[in-house]
Amino acid sequence: MIRPSIPMRQALARLVLPLFVMAGFALLLLGRADALLAERARMALADAVVPAFSVAGMPLAAARAALEKLRELRSLRADNARLRAENEQLLRWQAAAAALDSENATLKEALHWTPVPAASYVTARVVADAGGVYARAVLLPIGRSHGMTKGQVALDGQGLVGRVTELGARSARVLLVTDLNSRIPVALESSRGRAMSMGTNGPRPRLAHWPEEAPPVEGERVVTSAETNAFPAGLPLGTVRYRAGVPEVELAARLDRLDAVRLFDYGQRGVPPPEAAARLAERRGK
Amino acid sequence: MAPLRTPGIRPRPTLRRRLDAASRRLFPAAGTTVLLLLAAAPLGLPGQAQAQPAVALACVFFWSLARPASMTPPAVFLLGLLADLLGLTPPGVSVLILLAAHGLAAGWRRALVQQGFLTVWLVFAAVAAGAAALEWAMVGLLSVRLLPAHDALLQFGLTAGLFPALAALFTQAHRGLADPDRA
């Protein structure tokens, strides 16, 4: 092998960094031009790390559950008293609900109401918080091979969590409603006014574009609206909270401690999730 | 074979010894990869999303100063790509930031190695501020949106704050585990 002279080698070594900086810029442009490529690479990596993360998360989840149990033991008496009071109240609500249910049934009968088919769902454990500094997302260990599709709606026990935006063979990424790119058409429950819930990367999304005559009222429930055919109507999102004069949504879902989510397939394909939308625009441009 | 840098009697370069030396040379890049994956793992720590770029920047800066032969531009490029894929930043953003940090560290190396830790930390804090600002600007520009500034501030604080702990860890590794001369 011919060895280059020392000054030659030094000159070559000095060229390496600018070369890779240029490659970095090329990567940036490539990522802009072809969003699908970046997404595919990302999900390939996610597919590779999801099994390891699932296993690694188990002892941690067990430890957290044990701590939680200890905390519960300490507040057992107080919890008991609170639950008893709550139970009494709920029993009263149960009677009211039963009455309303039968009334609802008779009214539907009278109106020849066509029933909405119940949506099918799967439940998945949240494997990792897959967000970054400027993104809020979670990673699930189920993917295309489990029959998942993009745009499926994720809920926890209390409310809307987000939507499936990226899909690998055995992993899926759910963009949370708090993400900066998240835009959800909502309805304000008491006025039935439509609005948009815009993610800010903070814990509470902001409300915008509400009708002038019906501003959001503090404490009002916010549910999804079927406006753009992206979500089914009536999924609970949270309640209105004003902070510094700006209406925000106090989320019903507990996004800071997501353990498992239910994924519903409502077959809604009205508005594709953000990444897919970028690609669609690109395809149209071609 | 590595050229002899210092005179003296050396053990014969057997296969095992050469493998040992190679793994020590690979330690900085491999260790950074493991730390990056660990920062993305479900540990449930607060601020973990911000910790990932912090770990990447601290690792690249430290090893570019301490052992530039083991933290080369290709390695930095690949680490940046991994950080981009794990951290949901547009691909290329972390790559460019880490390469810039590497370039600065390599350029200031001669001046910085003679200084005490406090000076190195201050310089790193300045680099971290620049990196956080650059990431904020680049991600904002690429998504055509004004991003909340508190994310960038939190990232800067965490990056600068984590550095002493990581540097202490790396200094130990630098003297022992990652030293090819000890093979």
Predicted pLDDT of residue B75: 93
A chain contacts of residue B147, beta-carbon cutoff 8 Å: 134, 180, 201
Closest CB from A25, A56, A133 relative to B96? A25
Nearest to A204 by CA among A164, A159, A174: A159
Q: Phi first, then psi: what are they for A276, rounded to 5°? A: -65, -35
| Poorest-pLDDT segment among A55-59, A237-241, B42-46 | B42-46
Q: How much of chain B, in percent, has pLDDT values that exceed 90?
A: 36
- The ipTM of this complex is 0.80
Tell me which chain A residue has its CA closest to the CA of residue B145. A180
Predicted pLDDT of residue A102: 92
Domain membership flag for residue B83? yes
3-state secondary structure of B108: coil
Number of compact structural domains in chain B: 1
Predicted pLDDT of residue B115: 84
SS3 for B35-98, per residue? Answer: HHHHHHCCCCCCCHHHHHHHHHHHHHHHHHHHCCCCCCHHHHHHHHHHHHHHHCCCCCHHHHHH
The answer, yes or no, to whether residue B181 has pLDDT greater than 80, is no
**d(C-alpha A138, C-alpha B88), whole Å:** 11
Predicted pLDDT of residue B182: 66
Using one digit for the tens of pLDDT, what is the confidence trace for A184-236?
A: 999 998 888 899 999 988 889 999 898 888 888 899 999 998 887 788 888 89
Predicted pLDDT of residue A268: 59
The answer, yes or no, to whether residue B62 has pLDDT greater than 60, is yes
Q: How much of chain A, in percent, has pLDDT values that exceed 90?
A: 27
Residues in CB range of B87: below 8 A, 6 or more apart: A132, A133, A135, B40, B49, B52, B53, B94
Tell me which chain A residue has its CA closest to the CA of residue B53. A133
The answer, yes or no, to whether residue B144 has pLDDT greater than 50, is yes
Domain membership flag for residue B8? no
pLDDT top residue among A134 and A73? A73
Predicted pLDDT of residue A201: 84
B chain contacts of residue A26, beta-carbon cutoff 8 Å: 92
Nearest to A157 by CA among A268, A50, A251: A251
**Beta-carbon contacts below 8 Å between A and B:** 125
Min Cα distance A51 → chain B (Å) is 11
Q: How far, in Å, are A39, A134, B1, B23, B108 from residue B123 at the CA level?
A: 35, 25, 36, 30, 10
B chain contacts of residue A135, beta-carbon cutoff 8 Å: 87-89
Domain membership flag for residue B156? yes
Interface contact B42-A41, CB threshold 8 A: no
pTM of the entire structure? 0.78
A chain contacts of residue B72, beta-carbon cutoff 8 Å: 16
Min Cα distance A100 → chain B (Å) is 43
The answer, yes or no, to whether residue B1 has pLDDT greater than 50, is no
Q: How far, in Å, are A6, A52, A59, A130, B113 from residue A55 at the CA level?
A: 50, 5, 8, 16, 41
Domain membership flag for residue B66? yes
Mean pLDDT of A1-29: 82
Domain membership flag for residue B183? no
Closest CB from B80, B89, B103 relative to A17? B103
For residue B156, give its domain range: 17-38+48-178
Q: Is B1 exposed, middle or buried (0-12, 13-18, 19+ CB in 10 A)?
A: exposed
Closest CB from B80, B86, B89 relative to A134? B89
Best of A14, A67, A134 to mutate (most B CBs within 10 Å, chain B): A134
Predicted pLDDT of residue A266: 77
Tell me which chain A residue has its CA closest to the CA of residue B95. A24
pLDDT top residue among A234 and A257? A234
DSSP letter string, A35-67: HHHHHHHHHHHHHHHHHHHHHHHHHHHHHHHHH
pLDDT top residue among B2 and A90? A90
Domain membership flag for residue B62? yes
Min Cα distance B104 → chain A (Å) is 11
Residues in chain B: 183
The answer, yes or no, to whether residue A37 has pLDDT greater than 50, is yes
Interface contact A49-B37, CB threshold 8 A: yes
| A130–chain B Cβ distance below 8 A for any pair | yes
**d(C-alpha A136, C-alpha A176), whole Å:** 6
- The amino acid at residue B36 is L
End-to-end CA distance of chain B: 14
Predicted pLDDT of residue B183: 61
Tell me which chain A residue has its CA closest to the CA of residue B42. A128
Predicted pLDDT of residue A270: 58
**d(C-alpha B112, C-alpha B55), whole Å:** 20
Using one digit for the tens of pLDDT, what is the confidence trace for A117-159?
A: 777 888 988 888 777 777 888 889 888 888 888 888 999 888 9
Domain membership flag for residue B127? yes
Half-sphere exposure of A165 (CA within 13 A, CB side): 30
Number of neighbours of residue B69 by Cβ within 10 angstroms: 10
Q: Is A109 exposed, middle or buried (0-12, 13-18, 19+ CB in 10 A)?
A: exposed
| A56–chain B Cβ distance below 8 A for any pair | yes
Interface contact B73-A20, CB threshold 8 A: yes
In sequence order, what are the beta bridge partners of A183?
Answer: A198
Strand order in the sheet with A153-155: A120-125, A260-265, A153-155, A160-167, A172-176, A137-140, A128-129
pLDDT top residue among A270 and A169? A169
The answer, yes or no, to whether residue A286 has pLDDT greater than 50, is no
Domain membership flag for residue B3? no
Mean pLDDT of B117-145: 90
